[in-house]
Amino acid sequence: SQQGEEDPQALSIQEGENATMNCSYKTSINNLQWYRQNSGRGLVHLILIRSNEREKHSGRLRVTLDTSKKSSSLLITASRAADTASYFCATLRASGTYKYIFGTGTRLKVLA
């Protein structure tokens, strides 16, 4: 079953613009992660945010978490053509099982 749902499903922006994608989930979580996947490749871990954190930064990435709304957002600032990829959120439920549930992803295209 899918825990996370990303929004939008697809996003196309110009190089230099900011890209924002959102993830909503259904149950209480331990933490939430964001991953990037280039076409036909494995996923690359970007950032992990715990349920007691509200915001984290890593380079050009900014992640926020609102547990009251069961949602998270990933902001990529000053986007580059190399940021073109699919982005997935993954949630670890607070129930103690050590398996992440992935969303359906946002396909980001950055136009040069």
Q: Could you give the CA distance from residue 88 to residue 73 in angstroms, rounded to a whole number? A: 11
H or E stretch including 62? Answer: strand 61-66
Q: Is 100 in the site for other proteins (CB under 8 A)?
A: yes
Q: Residue type at 92?
A: L
Q: Which two tokens stand for residue 12?
A: 């196309």
Question: Judged by CB under 8 A, does residue 31 bind other proteins?
Answer: yes
Which member of 19, 63, 65, 105 binds other proteins (CB under 8 A)?
A: 105
Contact call for residue 61 and other proteins (CB under 8 A):
no
User: Is there binding between residue 25 and other proteins (CB under 8 A)?
Assistant: no
Give the whole-angstrom CA distance, residue 67 versus residue 59: 24
Residue-level length of the chain: 112
- Cα–Cα distance, 41 to 84 (Å, whole number): 13
The reply to whether 110 sits near other proteins by the rule CB under 8 A is no
Please report how close the Cβ of residue 45 comes to other proteins at its closest, in angstroms. Answer: 3
Q: How far apart are CB 33 and other proteins at their closest, in Å? A: 5
Site residues (vs other proteins, CB under 8 A)? 1-2, 4, 30-31, 33, 35, 40-45, 48, 88, 90, 92, 98-105
